[in-house]
Structure 1
Amino acid sequence: MSQLSSAAVDLVEVIRGDTVESVHRGHAVICDGAGQIIEAWGDPATMIYPRSSCKMIQALPLLESGAGRALSTAQLALACASHQGAAIHSEAVAHWLADMGLGEADLRCGTHMPYAEEARDDLVRAGKEPCQLHNNCSGKHAGFLMLSQHLGAGPEYVEVDHPVQRAIRTAFEEATEMDSPGYGIDGCSAPNFLTRLDALAGAVGRFARAREGQGTRQDAMARLTHAMGAFPEMVAGEGRACTDLMRAMKGKGAVKTGAEAVFVAILPELDRGIALKIVDGTTRASEAVIAALLSRIGALDAKDPVVERLTMGPIRNRRDMVTGRYNVVLGS
């Protein structure tokens, strides 16, 4: 981990009163559609786990194999989601599984309480426990199961040597144009492959340049990017930065967060891909930097309410008093 932080730069200041109280350091890369670096902060070659920011890459075999050919646009967005576990998410996954003749028990993502307050409160009032449908990765796992059925493979689709994960690793290494040196196990039990930050930015840059009608890979990339932008509420949920930023862009791009403060953006009209990593893993910092970078390259106006909220705050206390703000430090 020393390599991750050694070349990191200050990216976000947290200010209380008129004093900088905390600083978040990290790395960020902007690439064009050919994967060439346009601008960078910190060390572009730092090695990271992309975590959930790469779900659109993990979904490529679902489309390229033909397994997901008939999926709706909303289902494709759900395959790329880290959702809130609201009813629109859990019910959609349940229906998707039922259409395959499967159920919640076939998932291998594990269980946690839904992030959506209403869904959580409904469970508590009903005296019920959450299930795997509420897991933020259940849509991705439904896609894994669909691919596994198509391949005639076994039920343990999260194992690294399973045909599903072998197909994902191949797609991941092709999209990033580098061999992954290893993997870790993600929160949802699926393998997550190591890569360089600039390779991840290059991959989402290639997503940005992809157009339907230009081959199987570009078809899949373009469909997934469109799906995320068209159904931002399926990708995350109400009040989440991913959903709010994509709504603000009016479907003209896709953004995706990952655990431990990774964030990516796919911007077809600008021919740009963005990837960033905050070293200390703080979400408030990754959200601030992605919003600032979207503004910097013209995907969103700096005065957009979503951009202002994510990049500046304000920070409020328990009495709703303004106590501080953020300051994103990107240089000229």
Structure 2
Amino acid sequence: MDKPPVIREPAHVPLAHVLRGGVIEGVHYGSVVALAADGSVEFEAGDIEAAFYPRSALKPLQAVGMLRSGMELDSELLALSAASHSGEDRHLAGVRRILAAAGLGEADLRNSPDLPYDPVIRDEWLSEGRSASRLAQTCSGKHAAMLLTTQLLGWSVEDYLDPWHPLQQKLAETVEDLTGQAIARVTVDGCGAPLFSVSLRGLTQALSQIASAAADSPEGRVAAAMQEHPEMVAGKRRDVSRLMGSIPGLLAKDGFEAVQTVALPDGRAIGVKIADGSDRARMPVTAAALAVLGISPSLLAEFAYSPVLVGSAAVGGLRVTGELAARAAAVATPT
């Protein structure tokens, strides 16, 4: 295992320009890495080795750790255990099913209460006079799976989020195994669970291993579940679910503060971190990085452009820039 990544100010680079009326109005800095099928770095920009927090992009790794510990779920619920769900009815019903399998209920969850992540569902929720809940919070699938794993192994339930709890120690061990590096720092994620700091390269390597693993391995089971149920991983209106549905075999997981990972069954993978946490730059940069790895531009068109709108009229848009744009264009239009 490698040493932990260095904690430093990341040397991010410009990845995307925001144009309005032909003038650059804003610049999104960040870092991106694209791995070839053999794990070598095909392309990099910015700082792919500095310690950072993957946020919810860690969930597939945590799901692997729970399977390694003995958790058993069907494919749909396994996808939900690795999800940042939108709060749709099927998501909430799935969380209840996981809790029921553990003989537990919503009151046993220790994630932070919140409203549904999907803005349409959130508005409906509020119009009905409903308040924030642990069940509706976007990470409740992961927390329910953590409770199930804890119950199966006879560990204490009340403190399952303690970093020293046997479950969290097992998940940390899995993160280090899949990333190939020691964890730099442990803190608390937005949902209340322990959050492990690794590098962008290490995180991308981990998703590559999950996507390319043998079908009967814990990694392969997580990959298959997410690929079979992309709308359980996010939601019907979410770009991550649409991206997985657009490219056969592709595995994708996002995280708050504009983190995105994507991997293909042959091991090719990308990792993206937008420095300012702006979600509008996340998917266009991701699409450009996928183009560098040879994914057809026709499959990426929906994700490659983010317009600047005044009402319904486009007055500009977000355009990927720098070496990433040049590499993506060169692959798309070979000489």
Normalized against structure 2, the TM-score is what? 0.90
- Of 79, 82, 92, the match for 2:81: 79
Match of 2:229 in 1: 231
Q: CA–CA distance in 1 between the matches of 2:35 and 2:170? A: 25
Alpha-carbon distance, 1:34 to partner: 5.0
1:171 Cα deviation from its structure 2 partner: 0.3
Contact 2:7 2:50 in 1 (8 A): no
Quote how far apart the aligned CAs of 1:119 are. Answer: 3.1
State which of 131, 134, 157 in structure 2 corresponds to 1:132.
Answer: 134
Q: CA deviation at 1:234?
A: 0.5
The equivalences for 1:294-305 within 5 A come to 294-299=290-295, 301-304=296-299
After superposition, the C-alpha distances for 1:155-177 in whole angstroms (9 at most, x for unaligned) are 21111001110000000001111
- Residue 33 of structure 1: how far off its partner (Å): 5.0
Q: For residue 310 of structure 1, what is the aligned residue in structure 2? A: 303
After TM superposition, the runs of 4+ consecutive aligned structure 1 residues lying more than 4 A away are none
TM-score by length of 1: 0.91
Letter in 2 for 1:59: A
Q: CA deviation at 1:92?
A: 1.2
Q: How many angstroms does 1:125 deviate by?
A: 3.5
Matched, 1:206 2:204: no
SS where residue 308 of structure 1 aligns?
Answer: helix
Report the counterpart of residue 286 of structure 1 in structure 2. 282
Aligned length: 318
Residue 43 of structure 2 is aligned with which of 33, 39, 43?
Answer: 39
Deviation track 1:237-293 (CA, whole Å, cap 9, x = no partner) reads 12211111111113x111111111111012114x21211211111111112111222
Displacement of 1:134 in angstroms is 0.5
Match of 1:189 in 2: 192
Amino acid at match of 2:126: V
- Output the CA distance in 1 between the equivalents of 2:19 and 2:233: 31
Q: 1:328 aligns with which of 292, 306, 320?
A: 320
Aligned pairs for 1:1-332 within 5 A: 3-5=8-10, 7-33=11-37, 35-68=39-72, 71-155=73-157, 156-213=159-216, 219-250=217-248, 252-269=249-266, 271-299=267-295, 301-304=296-299, 307-317=300-310, 319-329=311-321, 330=324, 331-332=326-327
Query: In the TM superposition, what whole-angstrom CA distance separates every residue of 1:53-99 from its partner, at most 9, and x where no partner exists?
Result: 1100011122112222xx11111110110011111111111122122
Report if the CA contact (8 A) 1:225-1:266 is conserved. no
The 8 Å contact of residues 178 and 199 in structure 1, kept in 2 or not, is answered as yes
User: Do the aligned residues in 1 keep the contact of 2:176 with 2:182 (CA within 8 Å)?
Assistant: yes
- 1:255 maps to amino acid: A
Deviation, 1:303, is: 2.9
Structure 1: distance between partners of 2:193 and 2:209: 24
Aligned partner of 1:216 in structure 2 is none
Is the CA contact 1:32–1:205 (under 8 Å) kept in the aligned structure 2?
no
| SS state at 2:31 partner | strand
Structure 1: how far apart are the matches of 2:228 and 2:118? Answer: 21
Checking the alignment, whether the CA contact within 8 Å between 1:15 and 1:325 is kept in structure 2 is yes
Shift of 1:118: 4.5
Structure 2 residue identity aligned to 1:130: A
Q: Separation in 2 of the partners of 1:309 and 1:296?
A: 17
Q: How far is the alpha carbon of 1:209 from its aligned partner?
A: 2.5
| 2:333 alignment partner in structure 1 | none
Separation (CA, whole Å) in 2 of partners of 1:123 and 1:280? 30
Task: Return 5+ residue gaps in structure 1 as ranges.
Answer: 214-218
How far apart, CA to CA, are the structure 2 residues paired with 1:10 and 1:148?
43
Distance, in Å, in 2 between the alignment partners of 1:118 and 1:24 is 27
Structural RMSD (CA): 1.8
3-state SS, counterpart of residue 59 of structure 1:
helix
Identity %: 36
SS of corresponding position for 1:263 = strand
* Aligned amino acid, residue 140 of structure 2: S
Distance 2:118 2:239 in 1: 14
